[in-house]
């Protein structure tokens, strides 16, 4: 079933078609949200909100581009909004006062650096101005190709490339604090 | 390395490629899968949501409207041109509809033409003045009109005296009187001709000069004004 047929079936009230869409797209959507938000539970909340919104408005999808890109754009914009709304703090202890366990645990310093690197990447990307932020997130967190980004955003491919190059260069000062590779 | 972003980054600079690599490493490490209950949660939330509504774009609305109108006109024409089996009443109704449609099309075309005409007029701007309405390029001199130099001068001395032989002019000017005095002998009116010559416009303080400019000035500033050729 291609995207148009799937959308038509969902508009017609076919719940199985919607389930098929959720099963197919939940992985990429949650991954993209998690990369923006840095938290899996928050990513699932945003992804659920994204799917429900998409269910309501799928009748307005014009069939240009893919449903995958359309959903990712909704999800990423909601995740970026959630990043702005949430107060970002990184407690070192839990509510009982015990030190928070760091995932992995075998290499504490490496793990701390990894957490710090993730935070830097998330904050750097979230602080980019639009349209660089959206382009960067769709590309690297949503794993869309340049043609898909152009289709989803309605911008020419050359413009997407320009936004991508400039957005990456704008990230350089922030990401130079922790070398990731 | 991400599945889709690996192949089409040739346009990026070296610096941008380095940042891209860092982002790809980050994305590869942050890749959670949905929890087992996620799909059921979404389906339950969707159950509580209203049914999606198909929204048509304005273009599809317009195309359907045009198609329906064309079909109805075709039916009307067929009713008029049909055989004797079509009752007269139906023919009259169809004919009336065609007349109304024709009137609407004519009115629409007339409005469009008028609108286009006004747009063209507006774009072209105001009409260029004709040669008759254009003011004359050569000013006419009226003897009753004061000359240009009758206006107060911005110069502190009321005169833009030049050629005073190296001395700054202290000529208070002509006191608001016309400067084109007799005796200028074709010399510029703002040049009293001070190069050792008597002033041709020696500060006559509101009196029209009766002197053709051959008498020395009697103005208090005369020593600095007229005939101060050094």
Q: What CATH number does the domain containing A59 carry? A: 1.10.1740.10
Average pLDDT score over residue span B126-131 = 55
For residues A48-71, average pLDDT: 88
Residue range of the domain that includes A66: 3-87+102-175
Tell whether A173 lies on the interface with B, counting CB pairs under 8 A. Answer: no
If one compares A15 and B3, the residue with the highest pLDDT of the two is A15
> Across the interface, do B23 and A26 touch by the CB < 8 Å criterion?
no
pLDDT of residue B126: 62
Distance of residue B48 Cα from the nearest chain A Cα, in angstroms: 9
Q: What is the pLDDT of residue A177?
A: 65
Question: Which ipTM value was assigned to this complex?
Answer: 0.78
Helix ranges (H only) for chain B are 14-29, 38-48, 58-81, 88-124
Least confident of A38-42, A44-48, A103-107, B198-202: B198-202
Question: Residue A95: inside a domain, yes or no?
Answer: no
User: Cβ-count burial of A37 within 10 angstroms (0-12 exposed, 13-18 middle, 19+ buried)?
Assistant: buried
Confidence band of B30 (pLDDT split at 50, 70, 90): confident
Residue B122's pLDDT band (cuts 50, 70, 90): confident
Q: Is residue A97 part of a domain?
A: no
Number of domains in chain A: 1
Distance from CA of B86 to the nearest CA of A (A): 42
pLDDT score, position A95: 59
Q: Where are the domains of chain B?
A: 66-108, 161-179+189-205+214-230
Say yes or no for a CB contact (<8 Å) between B24 and A140: yes
Residues of A in contact with B38 (CB under 8 A): 26, 30, 44, 47-48
**Could you tell me if B53 lies within 8 Å of chain A, comparing CB atoms?**
yes
- Give dist(CA B169, CA B171) in Å, integer: 5
Average pLDDT (A12-38) is 90
For residue B109, what pLDDT is reported? Answer: 93
Question: Which of A13, A144, A172 minimises the CB distance to B19?
Answer: A172
Going by C-beta distance under 8 Å and a sequence separation of 6 or more, which residues neighbour residue B31?
Answer: A31, A34
Nearest by Cα to A82 from A118, A130, A34? A34
CA B78/CA B83 separation, integer angstroms: 9
A41: number of Cβ within 10 Å? 11
């Amino acid at each position: 079933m291609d995207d148009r047929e799937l959308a038509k079936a969902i508009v017609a009230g076919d719940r199985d078609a919607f389930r098929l869409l959720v099963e197919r797209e939940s992985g990429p959507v949650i991954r993209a949200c998690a990369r923006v938000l840095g938290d899996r539970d928050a990513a699932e909340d945003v992804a659920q909100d994204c799917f429900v919104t998409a269910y309501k408005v799928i009748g307005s999808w014009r069939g240009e581009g893919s449903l995958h890109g359309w959903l990712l754009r909704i999800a990423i914009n909601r995740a970026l909004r959630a990043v702005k709304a949430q107060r970002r703090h990184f407690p070192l202890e839990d509510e009982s006062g015990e030190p928070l366990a760091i995932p992995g645990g075998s290499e504490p310093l490496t793990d701390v650096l990894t957490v710090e690197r993730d935070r830097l990447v998330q904050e750097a990307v979230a602080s980019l101005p639009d349209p660089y932020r959206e382009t960067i997130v769709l590309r690297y967190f949503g794993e869309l190709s340049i043609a898909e980004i152009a289709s989803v955003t309605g911008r020419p491919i050359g413009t997407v490339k320009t936004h991508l190059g400039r957005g990456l260069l704008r990230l350089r000062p922030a990401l130079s604090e922790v070398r990731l590779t | 390395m991400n599945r889709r972003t690996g192949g089409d980054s040739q346009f990026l600079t070296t610096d941008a490629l380095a940042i891209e690599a860092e982002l790809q490493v980050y994305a590869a490490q942050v890749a959670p899968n949905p929890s087992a209950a996620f799909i059921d949660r979404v389906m339950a939330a969707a159950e509580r949501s209203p049914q999606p509504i198909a929204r048509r774009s304005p273009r599809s609305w317009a195309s359907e409207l045009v198609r329906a109108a064309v079909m109805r006109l075709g039916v009307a024409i067929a009713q008029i041109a049909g055989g004797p089996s079509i009752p007269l009443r139906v023919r009259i109704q169809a004919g009336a509809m065609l007349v109304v449609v024709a009137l609407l099309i004519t009115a629409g075309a007339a409005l469009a033409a008028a609108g286009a005409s006004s747009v063209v007029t507006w774009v072209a701007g105001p009409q260029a003045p004709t040669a008759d309405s254009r003011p004359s390029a050569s000013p006419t001199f009226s003897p009753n009109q004061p000359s240009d130099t009758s206006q107060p001068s911005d110069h502190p001395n009321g005169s833009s005296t030049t050629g005073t032989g190296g001395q700054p002019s202290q000529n208070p000017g002509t006191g608001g009187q016309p400067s084109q005095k007799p005796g200028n002998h074709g010399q510029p009116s703002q040049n009293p001709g001070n190069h050792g010559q008597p002033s041709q416009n020696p500060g006559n303080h509101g009196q029209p000069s009766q002197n053709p400019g051959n008498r020395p000035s009697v103005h208090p500033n005369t020593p600095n004004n007229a005939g101060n050729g050094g």
